[in-house]
Amino acid sequence: MTGSGTPRDRVIAALQGRAAFPVPCVEHGIAAGVIEAAYGVKLPPVTGEPGSLEYGLTAIGRQKRINELTGRCNVEVPYHWTMAPRILKDGTHNGALTDRASLGRLRFVELTDAHWDTLKRIVDAKGEYALNVGITTGIGHIWQTMDLEAFAVATVEDRPLLREILARYTDWTCRVISACNTIGVDFYWCFDDFAFNTGTVYSPGLLREVVLPYARQVAAAIELPWIWHSDGNYMAVLDEIVSLGMNALNPLEPGCMDIARIMAAHPHLTLVGNVDVDLLAAGTVEQVRRAVREAFALMGRPGRYIAASGNSIPSFAIPANVRAMYEEIAVLSGSR
């Protein structure tokens, strides 16, 4: 057992299947206002223009203060430097690409020497925490960056268009990964939402025939531990997803994912999350504490569990519930 290491040591140990004590806690996306209300503090501001060195460094600085309060063990780089963009209609969360004529809107951040130099300085500010960058394999982005009706039509009538979008995502993301493998990043968190509570957004056949060949290229470029994330219920394609070779699955949305089946079929995987965000937003403190206890009881195998919410900490979460979650995690993990 890895005992009393740094937060980074414990996260990496758990992602590699080695028992870590205390059990690490990670989180993607934490609403600052909720933490301020929960702990009665004023967090350091994030300043500077998005994409600037100042913005990146102050974002890391704020996260480190959140970690001191909550026990969270990771910090994450803002998406600008490593996450391929979704192309959205103005003022909406709906994808904007519709056809080949719209492909010109699919623009990526230019990967210059200055880009990498800035990212390296942000990475170097991580301190004792495990630093992650966000990426995508394209599994989620392929439908999120397209108008839904246009996407549905293309799945039947124009799969070459889908492959062209995926090829562009894959090329850019593999270039990002190639650099991040060697500059001090500790792990990747791969965001590929493509499921509702009832099942996947698009068919298993489309996933296997069109999307996975590109996702495998991204996965093959990764040389560090990585977490794969999708909300919802993707049990129908679990084996195909796991074949990409990630170290961990997240967020294991309660009521959607069959945890017992995952553990039985893929015992090598580290499981991350499962504390219901709906409870954080509308439940009671005791319900939240119970959910944390249940997650530890179900998934708390040495070296195969990292505590986290079942998605993120949104702005609409109840501050007392969020504090209760982190307090209960601290007790059960052995850090308090």
Task: Report whether pLDDT(303) > 90.
Answer: no
Convert 105-121 to b/e letters by CB count within 10 Å (16 or more is b). ebeebebeeebeebbee
Q: How confident is the model at residue 301 (pLDDT cuts 50, 70, 90)?
A: confident
- Residue type for 298, please? L
Give the pLDDT band of residue 2 (cuts 50, 70, 90).
very low
Q: Which pLDDT belongs to residue 4? A: 62
pLDDT interval class at 185 (50, 70, 90): very high
The per-residue b/e assignment along 16-30, b for 16 or more CB within 10 angstroms, e otherwise, is ebbbbbbbbbbbbeb
Helical ranges in 181-283 per DSSP H: 204-206, 212-221, 238-242, 259-265, 277-282
pLDDT digits (tens, 9 = 90+) for 59-80: 999 999 999 999 999 999 999 9
Question: What's the rounded mean pLDDT across residues 81-104?
Answer: 94
pLDDT at residue 139 is higher than 60? yes
pLDDT digits (tens, 9 = 90+) for 3-40: 469 999 999 999 999 999 899 999 999 999 999 999 99
Q: What share of the chain is helix, strand, coil (3-state, %, to 5)?
A: 50, 15, 40
Residue-level pLDDT at 336: 64
Domain that holds residue 254: 2-333
Contact present, 76 and 132 (Cβ < 8 Å): yes
Mean pLDDT score across all residues of the chain? 96
The answer to whether 292 and 247 have CB atoms below 8 angstroms apart is no
Q: What is the pLDDT of residues 194-217, one digit of tens each?
A: 999 999 999 999 999 999 999 999
What's the CATH code of the domain at 46?
3.20.20.210
* Beta strand spans in 59-115 (E): 74-76
> For the chain, what is the largest distance between any 2 Cα atoms, rounded to a whole number of angstroms?
57
Neighbouring residues of 203: CB distance < 8 A, sequence distance ≥ 6: 155
Give the count of domains, the chain.
1
pLDDT at 91 over 90: no
What would the pLDDT profile of 238-273 be if each residue is shown by its tens digit?
999 999 999 999 999 998 999 999 999 999 999 999
pTM for this predicted structure = 0.97
